[in-house]
Structure 1
Amino acid sequence: MTYVILLVAIVAEVIATSALKAAEGFTRLWPSLIVVAGYGVAFVCLSLTLKTIPVGIAYATWSGVGIVLVAGVAWALYGQALDLAGAVGIGLIIAGVLTVNLLSKTPVH
């Protein structure tokens, strides 16, 4: 269940980050409200996961998966494609998140 809450945190953060462009420096009301609400949900959910997942693991997963998803949203919504180096970097982030979550012996509370 903790990883479901972490997934909600990640999705909320991706929605908020993606809405930042549309908020245009917080000059547009609805996108700005999405940003604030999204980050609020993200931080509350992330804080709940820290009861059972070590902060380093939770944050690495949250930020790593968020980076990958935001890159995908930026490509889909704004046409911001990655070059080869960017794609390799995203692949390394994915590998890092998988390594930390599947192979790390870091104890969970």
Structure 2
Amino acid sequence: MYAGYLYLIIAIISEIIGSNMVVSTEGFTKLKPTLICILCFGIAIYMLSLTVHYIPLYIAYAIWSGLGIILVTVVSVVFFKQSVDIPPLIGIFLIVAGVVVVNLFGKSH
């Protein structure tokens, strides 16, 4: 089970890096950021495929989505100086609340 969470952490980190590299690719016209982006998304999907051997897909995906959206938002604000207003923050909170409900009360976990 712990291996599944390790794979999931690697998948999340890779997805966050890949998502934030999209900005640097400038429409996939910059080679180095584009290659990093593609590599990170490939690692993320591969690690997710390993994760589901240990953790049900719906739980793994809920965690991946919840943490991913939070961390991508944080990185976007801190490094790319993008602003976030209240409605998206409320939506992000609701996503996180959904992840918590799935993990705490899901019967097949």
TM-score, length-normalised on structure 1?
0.91
1-side partners of 2:78 and 2:70: how far apart?
13
Match runs of 1:68-79 below 5 Å = 68-79=70-81
Unaligned runs of at least 5 residues, structure 1: none
Query: What SS class does the counterpart of residue 84 from structure 2 fall into?
Result: coil
2-side partners of 1:98 and 1:50: how far apart?
19
Whether 1:104 aligns to 2:101 is no
The runs of at least 4 aligned residues of structure 1 exceeding 6 Å deviation read none
Q: How many residue pairs get matched?
A: 107
Q: Which residue is 1:84 aligned to? A: 86
1-side partners of 2:5 and 2:104: how far apart?
13
1-side partners of 2:69 and 2:28: how far apart?
22
What's the RMSD between the two structures over aligned residues?
Answer: 1.2
Q: Is the 8 A contact 1:65 1:97 kept in 2?
A: no
Q: Which residue is 1:39 aligned to? A: 41
Q: Is the 8 A contact 1:15 1:38 kept in 2?
A: yes
2-side partners of 1:58 and 1:74: how far apart?
23
CA drift at 1:78: 1.4
Q: Which residue is 1:63 aligned to? A: 65
Q: Which residue is 1:94 aligned to? A: 96
Work out the percentage of aligned pairs sharing the same amino acid: 44
Unaligned runs of at least 5 residues, structure 2: none
CA drift at 1:102: 2.3
Query: What SS class does the counterpart of residue 108 from structure 2 fall into?
Result: coil
